[in-house]
Amino acid sequence: MKRLAALPIVIGASPALAAGDYPFFSLRNTDLIVFFGFVIFIGILVYFKVPGIITGMLDKRADDIRGELAEARRLREEAQELRASFERKKTEVKGQAERIVAKAKADAELAAEQAKKDLEISIQRRLKAAEDQIASAEAAALREVRNRAVQVAVAASAELIAANMAKADANRLIEDSIKTVEARLH
């Protein structure tokens, strides 16, 4: 209503009232014709409810924007939840990786200690085997030296006995040896 009350003031202050020689309500007053054309245009717009349609379109657009904002907020919250979830998982994975590395280091240390023990046992075993081989070689060398000494002594004794023994003594020794062999074999 206040707008309608202000209408005569707007019309009174318009250049249409300042239109020179013609009366105000004359068809030759172009300002008046333009004013009536404008009023008719506004009337047609109101008759076809264009302001309501525009208002409805603006309201619909506002509702769409509100919906998009609500969707954007929802997506933002969802993204923040996902980010927090990923951060938690990242922290968990980092902790798990640290535990795996620590366990691997501990396992490597245990394996190194076990390898040292196994190496020491292997070295001791090889040393013992080498000592046994040396002892065996020494024993074999001693046996060989003894056998050779016996062979040399027997050969030397045989030569001495053969050179110093008479035929009768030799026959008697042979008969004694045969008797000794018979006694031991039976």
Asked if residues 3 and 27 have their Cβ atoms less than 8 Å apart, the reply is: no
Residues 153 and 79 in one domain: no
Q: Which of 64, 43, 65, 45 is nearest to 54 (CA)?
A: 45
Q: How far apart are CA 53 and CA 21, in angstroms?
A: 43
Over the chain (186 residues), the average pLDDT of each successive run of 10 is 52 52 76 92 93 94 97 96 95 94 94 93 92 90 84 78 72 83 80
User: Do 26 and 89 share a domain, yes or no?
Assistant: yes
Using CB atoms within 10 Å of the CB of residue 32, give its burial: 0 to 12 exposed, 13 to 18 middle, 19+ buried. Answer: buried
Asked whether residue 131 is assigned to any structural domain, the reply reads no
Per-residue pLDDT at 90? 95
Smallest Cα–Cα separation from 161: which of 180, 147, 174? 174
d(CA 175, CA 169): 10
Inside any domain, residue 183: no
Give the whole-angstrom CA distance, residue 113 versus residue 105.
Answer: 12
Residues 38, 95: one domain? yes
User: What does residue 151 show for φ and ψ, rounded to 5 degrees?
Assistant: -60, -45
Same domain, 33 and 80: yes
Q: Say which amino acid occupies 51.
A: P
Range(s) of the domain holding residue 15: 10-108
Q: Would you say the pTM of this structure is higher than 0.75?
A: no
Non-local (6+) Cβ contacts of 24 within 8 A are: 16, 17, 32
Element of type H or E holding 23: none
Same-domain pairing of 144 and 103? no
Q: Note the pLDDT of residue 85.
A: 95
| Same domain membership, residue 104 and residue 38 | yes
Residues 98 and 147 both lie in one domain = no
Does 128 reside within a domain?
A: no
- Whether residues 25 and 100 share a domain: the answer is yes
Answer whether residue 113 is part of any domain: no
49 torsion bin: left (phi>0), alpha (psi -120 to 50), beta (else)? left
Both 102 and 151 in one domain: the answer is no
Considering the domain architecture, whether residues 98 and 19 belong to the same structural domain is answered as yes
Q: 64 and 148 share a domain?
A: no
Same domain, 88 and 173: no
Residue 124 lies in a domain: no
